[in-house]
Amino acid sequence: MPRAPRNVPRTPPACSNARPPRCLHASLLLLLRSRIPPPLLAPSSSPRHWEWETEVMVPRWKSSDGRHRLLLLLWCCLLAFPCHAQVTTNVSHRSDQGIHSFVGTYGINYGRIADNLPPPEDVVRLLKLARIRNVKIYDADHKVLDAFRGSGLNLVVAIPNEFLKDMAANPSKAMDWLNENVQPYYPSTRIVGITVGNEVLGGGDVGLAEALVGAVVNVHDALRMLRLDSKIELSTPHSEAVFANSYPPSSCVFRDDLMVYLRPLLDFFSKTGAPFYVNAYPFLAYMSDPSHIDINYALFKPNSGIVDPKTNLHYSNMFEAQLDAAYFALEAAGYPGMEARVAETGWASAGDATEAGASMENAVTYNRNLRKRLFLRKGTPYRPDRVAKAYIFALFNEDLKPGPTTERHYGLFKPDGSISINIGLKGLVPSSAPPSPSLLPFKRVRAWGWIVQYSAALLPCTLIFLALAT
């Protein structure tokens, strides 16, 4: 198997005299200043501004009349269409402050407990068609790692629970795992994160819980020896079982019996800058108590919501309340600056008679509205400056998953690559699933927003041009 070169720098080293890329507008302004003769442009009293002289209002067009008019039109266009160079520079600067493991706000979990899924190469094609760039898997399968090579998709791999005890007891096991599952593929396969275990705490296995912190530390030390600790994020996802209570959000705290494991884990992640990952399922909360939870509140549909009596914050949906509950628990434990992200969330499209709320209609509604909510790129009521980010569960229906019927019906896609839960994504083959009507106006609004914005800016500039040119 061909191996990718190790420790290849992703970006050139910074240079002390390096200059930022020149904005297109700046280049065009320089062109204007060089082409427009002195009678047309003259410096004002401020060195940063240029103003039109009075005689421009009644210009005397001669042989270069057409050229002057074109230059005036170009000036108006510069005013109409804003430049984004400064924004890009700021984003790039911020990304240098930590590991950039998540692009945008929307990701997906690629589970493979099934015997009928498409090959990983087709999955990569499906993800690109669906425009999903953040992908999380539950192992480090080499066929998947090979398929993602050169795809440009962000991939988070996982160390399954069964490896944790050995890794905690023997640091060389962590290095062996990285040498087998990361080094041969990175960086051509864009491995941006490693999850150590899944829902370890609160599961009842004391030995596994005791091994979690040791395994995380040893994997991190191995990454540091490979000089990958600043390139690959290390984390572990938790279930809601780590909380003593979560309603109202401001009352959420971690379970006392788990703090012996959580305290050193959170201390370590606070030093590395890793987020706190939680699996948040409004569906499971509703299913456990359908008589007292408004399903519209769980589905992002219009409802009266709840008001936290301690903070007076209003919550119109359970997803934001669950995410804020994690923030309150982190703050109560002494980690107010740690980011919380959702490692799993979804809604089953089918279930047993005892599984309230499991239906295709509800699955479409939840996943569609969640996607729209995440695309707003905003925070929660308690953390408005922390943009909410989530991995959806799941990419496919997995027919070999044990448990109740819902476990096999979370997928957005069927095994053949067609749509299962239709939220407006493209599949590998045409789908018979009904369209998602509410998503179409959302897309039209986004498209018309750009048109209206630029038309409103261009119209007055055009009028100015006409006034100057006549």
Active centre residues (catalytic): 199, 344
Find out whether 391 and 136 touch, Cβ atoms under 8 Å. yes
Angle at the Cα of 444 from the Cα atoms of 438 and 449, rounded to 5 degrees: 130
What lies within 8 Å, CB to CB, of 337 at 6+ separation is 270
Residue of 145, 154, 138 lying closest to 103 (CA atoms): 154
CA dihedral 330, 335, 337, 343 (to 10 degrees): -40
State which H helix or E strand residue 373 sits in.
helix 360-375
**What is the rounded distance in angstroms from the CA atom of residue 404 to the CA atom of residue 126?**
28
Sheet strands (E) in 260-417: 276-279, 306-307, 314-315, 340-345, 390-392
- CA–chain centroid gap for 38, Å, is 51
Find out whether 366 and 345 touch, Cβ atoms under 8 Å. no
What lies within 8 Å, CB to CB, of 118 at 6+ separation is 126, 415, 416, 417, 428
Give the CA radius of gyration of the chain.
27
Find out whether 440 and 386 touch, Cβ atoms under 8 Å. no
Taking 3-state DSSP, the helix, strand and coil percentages for the chain, each rounded to the nearest 5, stand at 45, 10, 45
- CA–chain centroid gap for 9, Å, is 24
What lies within 8 Å, CB to CB, of 192 at 6+ separation is 99, 100, 101, 102, 154, 155, 156, 231, 232, 233
- The backbone torsions φ and ψ at residue 53, rounded to the nearest 5 degrees and listed phi first, read -70, 160
Cα–Cα distances (Å) from 78 to 27, 29, 89, 90, 305, in that order, read 11, 8, 20, 22, 46
Find out whether 428 and 412 touch, Cβ atoms under 8 Å. no
